[in-house]
Structures are given as structure tokens and as C-alpha cells.
């Protein structure tokens, strides 16, 4: 088979997954949490914070089979914390910061906190987890073990990494959230999944035509809210398989690749046009100048304005004092 040609398949296109959601809910006396808290049927990150606790028990529900991961950001006394699974009270102790609970939504998990709390809740649909498990070489996940107040360093570290972005106006793009859900999902499968069987995971990269199409599609959608599922569908792969293969081929995730592409495009505009930084930020796919400046500084080491002045100064110096051959 020619790896340079795009294959034609007779598969019926699958509907793209719903976009991931993030929210920061602060219970300041004006907002209250209903006794039945329903999450969307997609990957979600919800930070729920209260200075006074909950007046009653909350039962968490999902419209689709899904896994709930809850991680505390602050200390809770054992007397101020209750947790239920399948309507049974689970013995708990003191809640230390960054301890995790992993519970299947099928058990209708419930919780109560009698004092100030701050939690991050992740909802991961089981169909997405099954896709990741298959790509990792597992035949499937029959169940997930219940974990209560688990000292999970991986969940703690990735929560610390994403925490500053929850609730921000310039929050992470859906592409970054898609990538984040794959990382979290792979860890949950490996640590908590009851696996049916194991096989060799796919380790190959993208075919040449897939590499071309992926880079073209990312370039075409540099300013849009592109999803991993959109690019994977263009390449005829599952989301998890595509993400793994893309990293193998390009040495970076799709989100990292796109950010670097935006910065490279911005450098071209900085050096070959007189456009303002605001216009360059917009032309390069950033939400605003502040986001552009912050990202540029992180990757390049200086602000875009200083980088432009330095580049133009060096160019004028070379024109004034050409190298003697």
C-alpha cells in the first residue's frame, strides 16, 4: 500500500465528541448546589469552592457512563467530610490537600462537607477511556477500582498544572483540553482500571500523507477552536491513536505544535511587516495581546516587542557593516 496516498474507507463517519467544559463555581451564599448535581456528558473540569461548606448531601450524576475524579485542594477535618458510593457510607479520615477520589458514576457517588472546601472534579466518559485503553494495547476495562483519599502524585501534579487556567477568560483551548483528557485518562486506566487483557500498544507514527494532512489542517485552523477529533478524523484514526502517532512523528503534542506554529508565524510578521503587536496577535491566532506576549516570552525568552527591536537592530548593523569576504 502506498503510504503517501490517502486511503478511501467505507466507514461511516462517527459524530465528533462534545467539546470539553471547564468551570469555576464559587459558592458565596448567592449560589447553591442542588441535591442532585448533574454533569454534562463530556470531559469536564469543575472547580467547586465554598467558604462555609454544604447544607446537605449532594449526589453526582452523569447522563453517560463515566468516571468521577475528585481532588481536594485544602484540608478537611474527618468530622466535616462524608462520602457515599452505591448509597453506602464510606469510612474516611482527614482529607489532606491533593488527595484523590476515583469513583464510577454508576455508583451514584454522594458527598457532604460541613466546612470550607475547595475541590476540582474531573468527569471522564467511559467511551473515551475505552478508546484510550484500546490504543494502549488493552482489550478493554471491565471496571475501575474505588479509590478514596488516594495519594496519587500524577493526578496531584497535573491538577496543579491546570489549576491556574480554570475560570480564566483566556482558558486553555479545546485542543489543549482534549490532550489533557488523554493524559489523565491513560493514567487512570493504568492505575485504577481492571483490565481484560493486554496486547502490544501501537508505537508507529503517522503515514506521510497523514503527517501532511495533519499539519495542513492545523495550519488552516490556526485561528479556530479545532478539536483533536477533527484532525484524527481527517487522518482516519481514533483520537487516542492519532494523538500518540502525532507525538511520535512530530515530537510534540498537537497543542504544542500549534502554539509553536503560531509563534513562528508571529516572528514572520514581526520581521517583515510594520503591524502592531495587537494585530500580530490576532493574525497569529491568539485571543489578545496579553496572551500572545505571555506565550511568546515563555517560548522565546523575551517579549515580542523586544525581540523585534533586537532583530531589526541586528539587521541594520549587518547592512551598515557587511561582512568582508
> What CATH number should be reported for the domain holding residue 282?
1.10.10.60
Quick one: 229 and 115 in the same domain? Answer: no
Would you state the pLDDT for residue 203? 67
Quick one: 176 and 281 in the same domain? Answer: no
Would you state the pLDDT for residue 137? 79
Would you state the pLDDT for residue 29? 67
Would you state the pLDDT for residue 172? 78
**Number of Cβ atoms within 10 Å of the Cβ of 158:** 17
Quick one: 243 and 302 in the same domain? Answer: no
Quick one: 171 and 240 in the same domain? Answer: no
Would you state the pLDDT for residue 291? 85
> What CATH number should be reported for the domain holding residue 76?
2.60.120.10
Would you state the pLDDT for residue 2? 41
Quick one: 71 and 189 in the same domain? Answer: yes
Is residue 202 included in any domain, yes or no?
A: no
Parent domain of 244: 208-251
> What tens-digit pLDDT sequence spans the chain (325 residues)?
344 444 444 344 455 567 888 999 988 766 677 889 999 889 999 999 999 899 889 999 999 999 999 999 999 999 999 999 999 999 999 999 999 999 999 999 999 999 999 999 999 999 999 888 888 877 678 889 999 999 999 999 999 999 998 987 777 788 889 999 999 999 999 999 987 765 555 667 888 888 898 998 888 888 767 888 889 888 888 888 898 899 899 988 888 898 898 999 999 999 989 899 999 998 888 888 888 998 899 899 999 999 988 887 777 666 666 655 4
Quick one: 39 and 141 in the same domain? Answer: yes
Would you state the pLDDT for residue 62? 94
In the structure grid, which three cell numbers stand for residue 123, read together?
A: 468527569
How far is residue 104's CA from residue 206's CA, in Å, rounded to a whole number? 34
Quick one: 308 and 212 in the same domain? Answer: no
The CA R_g of the chain, rounded to the nearest whole Å, is 23
Would you state the pLDDT for residue 256? 86
Would you state the pLDDT for residue 11? 40
Residue that is last in its domain, among 154, 170, 195:
195
Angle among Cα 60, 63, 68 to the nearest 5 degrees reads 45
Quick one: 112 and 232 in the same domain? Answer: no
Give me the helices (H) in 46-152, please. Answer: 126-135
How far is residue 254's CA from residue 218's CA, in Å, rounded to a whole number? 8
| CB distance 191 to 152 below 8 Å | yes
Sign of CA dihedral 249, 254, 258, 260: negative
Total number of domains constituting the chain = 3
Is residue 2 included in any domain, yes or no?
A: no
Would you state the pLDDT for residue 227? 86
Would you state the pLDDT for residue 103? 96
Quick one: 131 and 178 in the same domain? Answer: yes
Q: Which residue has the cell 513562528?
A: 264
Amino acid at each position: 500500500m502506498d503510504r503517501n496516498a490517502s486511503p478511501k474507507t467505507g466507514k461511516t463517519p462517527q459524530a465528533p465528541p462534545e467539546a470539553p467544559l471547564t468551570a469555576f463555581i464559587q459558592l458565596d451564599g448567592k449560589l447553591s448546589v442542588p441535591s442532585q448535581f448533574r454533569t454534562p456528558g463530556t470531559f469536564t473540569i469543575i472547580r467547586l469552592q465554598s467558604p462555609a461548606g454544604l447544607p446537605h448531601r449532594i449526589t453526582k450524576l452523569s447522563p453517560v457512563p463515566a468516571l468521577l475524579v475528585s481532588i481536594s485542594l485544602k484540608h478537611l477535618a474527618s468530622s466535616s467530610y462524608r462520602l457515599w458510593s452505591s448509597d453506602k457510607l464510606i469510612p474516611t479520615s482527614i482529607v489532606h490537600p491533593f488527595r484523590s477520589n476515583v469513583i464510577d458514576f454508576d455508583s451514584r457517588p454522594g458527598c457532604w462537607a460541613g466546612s470550607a472546601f475547595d475541590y476540582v472534579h474531573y468527569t471522564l466518559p467511559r467511551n473515551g477511556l475505552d478508546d484510550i485503553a484500546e490504543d494502549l494495547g488493552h482489550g478493554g476495562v471491565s471496571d475501575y477500582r474505588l479509590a478514596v483519599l488516594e495519594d496519587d502524585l500524577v493526578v496531584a501534579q497535573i491538577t496543579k498544572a491546570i489549576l491556574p487556567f480554570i475560570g480564566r477568560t483566556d482558558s486553555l483551548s479545546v485542543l489543549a483540553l482534549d490532550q489533557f483528557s488523554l493524559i489523565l485518562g491513560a493514567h487512570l486506566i493504568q492505575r485504577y482500571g481492571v483490565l481484560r487483557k493486554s496486547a502490544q500498544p501501537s508505537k508507529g507514527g503517522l503515514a506521510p500523507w497523514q503527517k501532511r494532512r495533519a499539519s495542513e489542517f492545523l495550519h488552516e485552523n490556526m485561528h479556530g477552536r479545532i478539536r483533536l477529533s477533527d484532525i484524527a478524523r481527517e487522518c482516519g484514526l481514533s483520537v487516542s491513536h492519532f494523538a500518540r502517532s502525532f507525538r511520535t512523528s512530530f515530537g510534540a503534542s498537537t497543542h504544542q505544535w500549534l502554539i509553536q506554529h503560531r509563534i513562528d508565524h508571529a516572528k514572520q510578521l514581526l520581521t517583515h511587516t510594520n503591524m502592531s503587536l495587537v494585530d500580530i496577535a490576532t493574525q497569529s491566532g491568539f485571543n489578545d495581546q496579553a496572551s500572545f506576549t505571555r506565550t511568546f516570552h515563555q517560548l522565546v525568552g523575551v517579549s515580542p516587542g523586544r525581540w523585534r527591536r533586537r532583530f531589526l537592530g541586528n539587521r541594520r548593523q549587518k547592512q551598515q557593516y557587511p561582512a568582508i569576504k
